[in-house]
A and B are shown apart, each in its own frame.
Chain A
Amino acid sequence: MPNAPFYPRVFARAFSHAGPAFVSVAAVILGWEAYVQLSGISPTALPAPSRIITQGFEQREALARHTLATLQATTLGFACSLTAAFLFSVLIDFFQPLRRALFPVFIITQTLPLVAIAPLVVLWFGFGLTPKIVLVALVTFFPMLVALAQGYEATNRDIAALLASMGASRWRIFLMARMPSALPYFFAGLRISVTYAVVGAIFAEYAGAARGLGIYILNAKNNFRPDLVLAAVFVSAALTLLLFSASVLVQRAAMPWARLAEQRR
């Protein structure tokens, strides 16, 4: 790479990280475009990426409105789920029997098929924000709870013994040692759950909603517009990536020491 020294190192590193992904995505899109152009397949069966982009761009106002609705449902639902997961994780950490009582129930909620649950939730809670929040919380609560519970358990025993020897109470040990120890697990859970959260919101909207990418996809499908369906899918993928990157950035800001440990290795 003769050019590398001329770029600031940050850009060089960012490109070397994102470069391969960028190339593979571009290759898929180019191949797709070429196939549609050469085979002459009908755009109502498989629209070309160029068509998806132009049609999506024409619909940008509608798409933006529905995307905002989905984003709102995702973040609100996720915030509720995080709060609940944290409260339960603390309860479970202090009262182990509670864990044995509650975990089976939580595990069952994870086995419910979303396609069956989504319409029921809409039936119970209407077409507003509530069913979306419920569904997002349903799919993200348990992964976050497990991540937190595992994180507490990962606390270094020497650190806990040290605090106890100093006379720290159980609550103090939780705040000073168990919670910080859980941070890496928390963020690993966060990165995965945030992608579930978008899917959960779209499922809820698909089952019936006033606004949102889910209902937009449903309407586009009913109007035989696969180009708009795919445009909405692209937008939802972009939304997921955005939330994923945001959680990575928050983790970096919240755990400055973690990168130092990596650098030494």
Chain B
Amino acid sequence: MSPARLELVGLRKSFGATEVLADISLSVQPGEFVSILGPSGAGKSTILQLLTGATRLDSGRMLLDGTPLSSAQHRFAFMPQGDALMPWRRIIDNTTLGLEVQGMSRKAARAKVEPLFAEFGLAGFERYYPAQLSGGMRQRAALLRTVVQQRPMLLLDEPFGALDALTRAQMQRWLADMWTRHRWTVLLITHDVREAVLLSDRIYVLSSRPAHVVHRFPVPIDHPRQGASAALSAIEAEILTTLLHPED
């Protein structure tokens, strides 16, 4: 069997006296959409900090395609918890950011990103500043900035957490649709159970801090899932039960 795209084994991390991650093990297969669900402050973002090299782990192993991750590699396309768009850059120049950092000229990067604006529902807004866009459009721009980096894996930290309920529902469907077409390998962090169920192939549920994996739920429903709302609701109810009664 070929190795998992991402394999985390027994991750531990403390910040000073605060133990944040107690024991995190999970894996993501190539082309798989995996979500991490957990209460606020559990340490979900900390897992991504470890992956992007922003902090070091205390113990454990992180493997990408079977080889240990070193902090010098930048193998993930990361979307931080806020949209992290630069207010001083136009949307087009925000989306080319990763390519520019990789050394591509601004002109070449623009030429590469421009054709994708229509698919991301941003056509005509290339020259706008982030402040001129709605919340949903900003998230789509941030996602475009993430995927054009063409890394082996996407790390999305609560991409829709700051949106109103209606926009969030629209964005979740849109992302499900995009993923069905592109089959990116994704690790998504969320505390929205419905979002996790709609999008994921597999869901890991974390305890509160210090975090460990309390449950794994497969979501064995083919994409697109628009017609499968009854089956999705059943899984959602099951997960909510475990979250509300962790002892059972």
Contact = CB atoms under 8 A, between A and B. Distances in A.
Contact of B132 (A161, A163, A264): A264
Contacts of A183: 88
A156 B53 contact: no
Interface stretch (A109-117, A191-199, A226-234, A254-262): A254-262
A161 B88 contact: no
Interface in B39-75: 49, 52-54, 74
B88 A168 contact: no
A165 B86 contact: no
Interface residues of A, number: 23
What is the predominant secondary structure among interface residues of chain B facing chain A?
A: loop
Interface residues of B, number: 24
A103 to B, nearest CB: 27
A161 B52 contact: yes
Contact of A180 (B82, B88, B101): B88
Interface in A153-202: 156, 158-159, 161-168, 172, 176-177, 180, 183
A168 B54 CA distance: 12
B80 A158 contact: yes
B54 A164 contact: yes
Nearest to B149: A166
A156 B84 contact: yes
B87 interface: yes
A9 to B, nearest CB: 20
Contacts of B88: 180, 183, 255, 257
B81 A158 contact: yes
Contacts, number: 66
B111 interface: no
Interface string B76-90: 101111101011100
A257 B129 CA distance: 6
B38 interface: no
B159 interface: no
A53 to B, nearest CB: 45
B75 to A, nearest CB: 10
A158 B101 contact: no
Given A165-B52, A166-B102, A159 B76 contact: no
A175 B110 CA distance: 20
A165 B54 contact: yes
Contacts of A260: 129, 131-132
B129 A165 contact: no
Contact of B84 (A159, A176, A256): A159
B156 interface: no
Nearest to B76: A165
Interface in A233-265: 255-258, 260-261, 264
A162 B80 contact: yes
Which of B49, B53, B54, B101: most chain A CB closer than 10 A? B101
18 contacts: A156-B82, A158-B84, A159-B84, A161-B54, A161-B84, A162-B80, A164-B53, A165-B76, A165-B78, A166-B97, A166-B98, A166-B102, A167-B101, A176-B97, A180-B86, A256-B129, A260-B132, A264-B131
